Amino acid sequence: MSEIKIQHEFDGKRGSFFLEEGAKRFGEMVYVMAGPKKMIIEHTEVDESLKGQGIGGKLLDELVAYVRKEEIKVIPLCPFAKAMFKKKEELRDVLN
């Protein structure tokens, strides 16, 4: 996989930050909006071939940058995201 470029899609209610090459998704962090300024992180998944390369962390970093810009608060239900917020104090300002 060449340069890692995280993309974002959002349909007004649900969305995801993802890593895609060709037609294949290699990593994805899925969320649902629980109001205009509240986001629930539901699920994070990274392809086995990229495990251990920090892809999940990169997905979360992109999500955090987005919610800071949009002034959205986050509720991490996803075990991975929850663990990352516990570990990285500098991200906790976005928590609900």
Percent of the chain past pLDDT 70, that is, above it, reads 98
Q: What is the pTM of this model?
A: 0.94
As a whole number, mean pLDDT of residues 25-38 equals 97
What would the mean pLDDT of 26-48 be, rounded to a whole number?
97
Say whether pLDDT at 60 is over 80.
yes
pLDDT at 2: 58
CA dihedral 73, 43, 65, 20 (to 10 degrees): -150
pLDDT band at 71 (very low <50, low <70, confident <90, very high): very high
CB-side neighbour CA atoms (13 Å) of 82: 8
> Is the pLDDT reported for residue 1 higher than 80?
no
